[in-house]
Amino acid sequence: MVPKWTRILERAEVVGNYAQPLVITALGKSVGTPEGGVTAEIVHFATFDDLKAADPAMVKDKIVFISNRMERFKTGAGYGPAVKARGAGASEAARKGAKAILIRSIGTDTHRLPHTGGVTYDEDAPKIAAAALSNPDADQLVRMLGYSDSISVHLNIQTTMEDPVEMYNVVGEITGRVKPDEYVVLGSHLDSWDLGTGAVDDGAGVAITMAAANLIQDLTKERPYRSIRVVLFSAEELGLIGARQYAEAHEKKGDMANHMIGAESDFGAGPVWALASNVSENAVHVVDKMAALMGPLGIVRADRKAGGGPDVGQLRAKGMPVMDLMQDGTDYFDLHHTADDTLDKVDPAALRQNVAAWVVFTYLAAEWPGSFR
């Protein structure tokens, strides 16, 4: 059961000096402003940490604006440092008396399309409206503040939080011929944010994991040694709810030890360029063989430990070995959680390369009779 949140209205504009509209989107699960909105002077912080260190007197009765810019990396490494402002900024600002918060979108694009994503409200803080500015509008606010000590914004966000609704994980399985109760887990997530269609986050991942399992089923004469389980997790964007419940259910059932290895496709539709693992020493040679077979696809062996991804990572935390089929995410955060997340952004050739790589991983993991633990 998950809460049902709906955006109704989102509008912002600079009033007074340099009056002009701003392009915003409410962050997921944000409360609304009072009906009709709020008007207040903005107080600017370059980073979330600057807000944390600020004197509450600077913040009281103002709209907080955090302008930290996400850096572009092939691996998406800029996301973690930047996203703190989105998740924790609202409660930190509210504790210091802010009326609302605006953050620069957590994205690497220069389009006038803001990025949504979930906000986390702490129980010990008031709830204030939280929204993301498109990157060009965030730049514009910074410029304005260079010309004037006082910039005021009118912000009107209207949302609803309704009774919880039921959501489901979707599980499909190719049952193993020798070890039907041992599982190779292929994960991705079903839900997406409402601005776009979810083609990149995570429709592509759903397609890749399902296609890989299906291709093995179609091309092999017999079922694999152990079972292949494709799990399409629900409510990932709301806080990994489906993955957490899957992990808890199987821990309670007592069969987590039968989850032999897993991986997740949840980083768009770019080509796989590296293979990382987090397995026991006695299984490293199998991973090396996988990487060698993936070599003609342009994939190299990574020297870092795999994390498994957001959903499958919940199973890693309970002891399951994991792999990362690392995708090129150079432009992933141009599209992430925006209205630009549509099917035209998916390159069919890159999708086929992903499927080929996933078939290699999945088939060898399911056929090798040894343990990755």
119 and 33, same domain (yes or no): yes
- Please compute, for residue 158, the number of CA atoms within 13 A of its CA located in the half-sphere on the CB side: 5
151-174: average pLDDT: 97
Residue 347, domain member (yes or no)? yes
Residue 16, domain member (yes or no)? yes
- Residue 3's pLDDT band (cuts 50, 70, 90): confident
Residue 82, domain member (yes or no)? yes
Boundaries of domain holding 71:
2-161
Phi-psi region of 79 (alpha: psi -120 to 50; beta: other; left: phi over 0): alpha
Cβ–Cβ under 8 Å, residues 308 and 324 = yes
**Tens digits of per-residue pLDDT, 47-56?**
999 999 999 9
214 and 351, same domain (yes or no): yes
The model's pTM is 0.94
152 and 197, same domain (yes or no): no
User: What is the per-residue pLDDT for 17?
Assistant: 87
Check whether 339 has a pLDDT greater than 90: yes
187 and 298, same domain (yes or no): yes
332-343: average pLDDT: 98
318 and 258, same domain (yes or no): yes
151 and 228, same domain (yes or no): no
188-197: average pLDDT: 97
Minimal CA–CA distance to 345: which of 31, 113, 47, 75?
A: 113
95 and 182, same domain (yes or no): no
- According to DSSP, the residues that pair with 103 across neighbouring strands are 66, 132
What is the CATH number for 238? 3.40.630.10
- Residue 170's pLDDT band (cuts 50, 70, 90): very high
280 and 303, same domain (yes or no): yes
212 and 136, same domain (yes or no): no
**Tens digits of per-residue pLDDT, 84-119?**
999 999 999 999 999 999 999 999 999 999 999 999
In one letter, which amino acid is 139? D
Residue 373, domain member (yes or no)? no
Residue 57 host element (H or E): helix 56-59
Domain boundary among 109, 133, 161: 161
Residue 25, domain member (yes or no)? yes
User: What is the per-residue pLDDT for 168?
Assistant: 97
142 and 215, same domain (yes or no): no
Q: At what angle do helices 348-367 and 204-219 cross, to 10 degrees?
A: 50
Cβ–Cβ under 8 Å, residues 119 and 127 = no
- The residue ranking higher by pLDDT, 268 or 17, is 268
**Tens digits of per-residue pLDDT, 199-220?**
999 999 999 999 999 999 999 9
User: What is the per-residue pLDDT for 80?
Assistant: 95
Residue 232, domain member (yes or no)? yes
Give the number of domains in the chain. 2
C-alpha span between 261 and 257 (Å, rounded): 10
Domain boundary among 122, 138, 161: 161
312-335: average pLDDT: 98
Domain boundary among 121, 141, 161: 161
What is the CATH number for 140? 3.50.30.30
150 and 212, same domain (yes or no): no
User: What is the per-residue pLDDT for 149?
Assistant: 87
In one letter, which amino acid is 275? L
Q: Which residues of 113-123 are buried (b: 16+ CB within 10 A; e: fewer)?
A: bbbbbbbebee
Residue 177, domain member (yes or no)? yes
75-89: average pLDDT: 96
Which positions are catalytic? 236
Check whether 270 has a pLDDT greater than 90: yes
C-alpha span between 216 and 231 (Å, rounded): 16
217 and 69, same domain (yes or no): no
Minimal CA–CA distance to 67: which of 41, 91, 89, 95?
A: 89
Residue 372, domain member (yes or no)? no
Q: What is the mean pLDDT of the chain?
A: 97
